[in-house]
Structure 1
Amino acid sequence: MTGTEKDQTDFSNKRIMTDCGTRRPFSSGHSMYSRMHSHGHTGRLREGMRTRKMPKIKNSFKELYKKLLTNQETNIFIAAIKLGIFRELSYWKSSEELAEKHNFDPENTAVIMNSLASLDLIEKKKGLFRNLPAAEEFLASNDDTYLGEFFLSSFRWYNLSSDDICSLVKYGPDKCMHKNKTESEGIWAEQAELSVNYQRAGMVQLASRIVSSLPEFGSFRKMLDLGCGPGLFGISIAMGHPSMNAVLFDRPAVSKVAERLIGEYGMEDRVKAVGGDYINDPLGKNYDLVWASMTLNFAGDSLNDVIKKVCDSLNPGGVFVSFSDGKTNGGTKPKEMVLGTLMPALYGNDMGLNEGVIAGAMLKEGFKSVHSRAVMTPVGEVMVDTARKEV
C-alpha cells in the first residue's frame, strides 16, 4: 500500500465533527444509497425521484426583489443628506478625505460613497467622488433651490413602517395612533416654510409657463392664488406679467410666510397676502384668473362648494386653473400620487382625487368649458384642469 493509499484509508476511518455530532464520512462503499440498495429500497427511491420535478417558471421575480432594495436606497439617500455628504462633493474628493474631515469611520465612509455612486447620485473616477448634476444643484449648497430639508420632511411623511401598515390594515385608523395631524396652524406654517425651496426648484417655473401660455394671459388684471402656501406660484405668475395684481390666500399663519416672501421679491405694490379659510370665508371678487396648486385635495366634501365660490369670484370670461393630482386606472396610477397620499389615506383622510373629479365639478358648478391634460413634474404626473367662465 502506497503512502497516498494509506492516507486515504486512514481518512475513511476517521470521524468528522459536525453541528450534529460525530459521524463517519460517506464513501462509495458506505453511502446511504448503497445501504438502501442492500435493503431493497432502490425501487422506491427511484420512484420518488421520478414523481418530483423542478417547477417550470413562467415569470422572473426580478421586479419583486427590487422592491426589497427600494427601502435601502431611500435610507442611503436620507443618511447622506443627514451626514452632509453632498455638501462636500462639489469637487472631486476621496472617501478618506471626507472621513478625516468629519471624523467618520473610513471603511464605512467608502461603503456609503460607493453605494451613492451605485444609485447615480454621485460619480466615481480613479478613487475620487463628485456630485452628479441633480445632487449638485439641489443638495450641495444652502441656496434658493436646496432641497435637503424638504426631502427629510417628506421622508418622515412617507415613512410608514410595514408594521404600521399591517396594524392599520388589520384594525383600521381608529385603533391606531394617529400620525396625520394637520390641524395645527403652526404645522401648516412649518410646512409652508419647507415648501419654499420645493416651489422655486422647478415647480413655479412650470406653473408660470402653463399660465403664460393661456391666450387670455395678456388681458389679465387680477388673480387669486388659492391655498397659496408660501405664495411663490402667485408671486412668480405676477412677476411674469407686466401689470397684473395678485392675492395670495391661505390660512392666517401660512399667509404670514407668503407676506414675507412678497417683500423678499419686491412685489408689495402688486401682490398681497390674505389669511382665511377658503371653505368658509369669502374669496374676494373680480378676478380674471384663479390658480389652485394641490389645494382642492383639502376641500373634502366641500369640493363642489369651493369650486362654486371660485366661479362666482371670477369676472365673465375668467379662467380657473387647477394643478392637482388625478389618479387613474381605478386609483392605482400614477405611482407617485398613490404612494404620496398613502399615509393620510390609511388614517382615513384620503386626499387623492381621481381623474375627472375636479373637471366634473367645474362643469357642474357653472363653468362653460373645461380642458384637462396631464403634465409631468419633478414629483410625478399632475393633472391640469383649465375651466373658463361664460363671457
Structure 2
Amino acid sequence: MNLYLNRAINALTAAHPLQPIWQIYLSQIQAQALNFAVETKLFATLLKASSAAQLAQQHHLHAENTKYLLQLLASLQVLDEHADQNNQTMYRIKSELIPYLDPQSDQYCGDALLFRQNVIQSVSAQLPNMFAPNFQMQIREAKNIELAWALAAQIQIAQEQAAVTTHIVNILSDLIPEFKSAKQCLDVGAGAGLISMFLAEKFTQLDCTLLELPSVIETIRPNLNQHPAQHRLHCISSTIEDIQFDRSYDIIWCSSVLHFVGDPATTLAKLLGALSAQGVLICCHSEIDPLHHQPLVQSYYLNMRMQKNYVPKKGEIYETLKKLGCGDIQVIEDVQFPVTPLDVLIARK
C-alpha cells in the first residue's frame, strides 16, 4: 500500500510537460510586478524592514494588494521576509541587491532596469509582424539611431557600466599584464565612458581615447571634463567604420560593437591595424552556440538576428582573428555582462 501511495504521489506531483511554457507566460506578470516596484520607488523604502501595511501607507497603495506584491517579490528572491516580535511579516531587499536598488548608491540600476523593460516590451510588440512572409527589415535614420544611443548612454549604459561592466574590466585588467605598462587605450563604442574613466583612474600612465557617435560624445563630455583624469581622456566623434586611425594603441576594448557594423571581419582588421606590436585587443560579444541551449542569448538577440544584425556563431570571432594573424588568443566564455553573458577574447598579434 505504501509503495502504491508513493507512486501515486510521485505521479501527482511530477512537473507537467507544459510547466516550462506556463512559466514563460507567468514571467510577464513577474516582470510587470518588478517594474511597478522600481517605478514607484518601493525598494528605497525596503532598504529597511517594512510590513506591507507600512509600505502601502507610505506609498498610498492598496494595503492587501501590496501584501500580495511583496509575497511575489519574495518568492522571486528579490526580497527577504521574516516575522517581527509581533509575528508580523516584514520585508527587506536582499542584501546582495541593495547596491543596485538603492537610489543613493553609485551602482544604482533602477533607471537601467526600467529602460531595459521598455525596450523589451517594444521589441516584443513588434515580433508578430516580423514573421509575416513580406516582412522587410526596418531601416532607421542614422541620426535617430545616434540620438537613441545618446539617451541610452545617459541612463541604461551609464548605470550598467557603473554597476557591472567596470567590475568586469577591473578583473580583466588585473589578468592582462600589458595594462601595467600600456600608454594608449582605445575604447570602441565607449557608451557612457565609464570604462575609460575607470581605467584612466586605475592606471595613471594610461591615456584613454573614447570612440563614439557625435551625439553620444556631446552627452558624456561634461562627465569626462569633471573626471580627475580628464587630461588623459580624449574623444573621437565617429563610427568605427568611418574612422582612419593615425596612431597605434596598446589596449583596445571592443564590447558588443560588431553587432552594428556592416563587415565584422573588416572592422576587426582595422582594429588590429591600430594595435601596437605588443598590444592587446579585448573583444567581448555574445555568440550563438548551436550545440547548447542559451535561452537568455536567444531571447535577447532574436530581434537583432531578424533585423540582420551580426550575431556570431560560437568560435566565429576567434577564427576571424586567427585568419587576420593573431597568434595568441585567450577565450573566457560566459562572462556575466548585463542581461546576457558574453565571450571575452583577449587577442595578441
Give TM-score scaled by structure 2 length: 0.86
Corresponding letter in the other structure for 1:189:
A
The structure 1 residue matched to 2:265, chosen from 295, 299, 304, is 304
CA 1:255 to 1:58, structure 2 compared with 1: closer, same or farther past 3 Å? closer
Partners of 2:139 and 2:108 lie apart in 1 by 27
1:161 deviation in Å? 7.6
Does the 8 Å CA contact 2:255/2:284 hold for their aligned counterparts? yes
The answer to whether structure 1 residue 366 and structure 2 residue 325 are counterparts is yes
1:343 deviation in Å? 2.6
The answer to whether structure 1 residue 100 and structure 2 residue 57 are counterparts is yes
1:135 deviation in Å? 3.5
Q: RMSD over aligned Cα, in angstroms? A: 2.5
Report how many aligned residue pairs link the two structures: 328
Matches for 1:227-376 after TM superposition, within 5 Å: 227-299=189-261, 301-329=262-290, 333-346=293-306, 348-376=307-335
State the secondary structure of the residue aligned to 2:49: coil
Does the 8 Å CA contact 2:248/2:275 hold for their aligned counterparts? yes
Give TM-score scaled by structure 1 length: 0.77
Corresponding letter in the other structure for 1:170:
A
**Residue identity (%):** 19
What does the per-residue CA deviation read over 1:235-260, in whole Å, with 9 as the maximum and x for residues that have no partner? 21222223111111111111223423
Does the 8 Å CA contact 2:181/2:205 hold for their aligned counterparts? no
Partners of 1:115 and 1:243 lie apart in 2 by 50
Q: Which runs of 5+ in 1 are unaligned?
A: 1-56
Corresponding letter in the other structure for 1:236:
F
Q: Which runs of 5+ in 2 are unaligned?
A: 1-13, 84-88
CA 1:106 to 1:180, structure 2 compared with 1: closer, same or farther past 3 Å? farther
Q: Which residue of 2 aligns with 1:18?
A: none
What does the per-residue CA deviation read over 1:66-98, in whole Å, with 9 as the maximum and x for residues that have no partner? 222222211111111112211111111121122
Q: Which moved more, 1:367-376 or 1:188-197?
A: 367-376
State the secondary structure of the residue aligned to 2:229: coil
Partners of 2:188 and 2:304 lie apart in 1 by 22
1:192 deviation in Å? 0.9
Q: Which residue of 1 aligns with 2:9?
A: none
- Please say which structure displays the higher CA radius of gyration: 1
Matches for 1:1-391 after TM superposition, within 5 Å: 60-126=17-83, 127-159=89-121, 164-171=126-133, 173-174=135-136, 183-184=143-144, 185-194=146-155, 195-299=157-261, 301-329=262-290, 333-346=293-306, 348-378=307-337, 379-389=339-349
Does the 8 Å CA contact 1:160/1:343 hold for their aligned counterparts? no
What does the per-residue CA deviation read over 1:175-229, in whole Å, with 9 as the maximum and x for residues that have no partner? 9xx5977752221100111211110102112112213311322221111011111
Does the 8 Å CA contact 2:248/2:274 hold for their aligned counterparts? yes
Q: Which residue of 2 aligns with 1:19?
A: none
Does the 8 Å CA contact 1:226/1:250 hold for their aligned counterparts? yes
Does the 8 Å CA contact 2:201/2:228 hold for their aligned counterparts? no
1:337 deviation in Å? 2.0
Corresponding letter in the other structure for 2:297:
M
Corresponding letter in the other structure for 2:296:
E
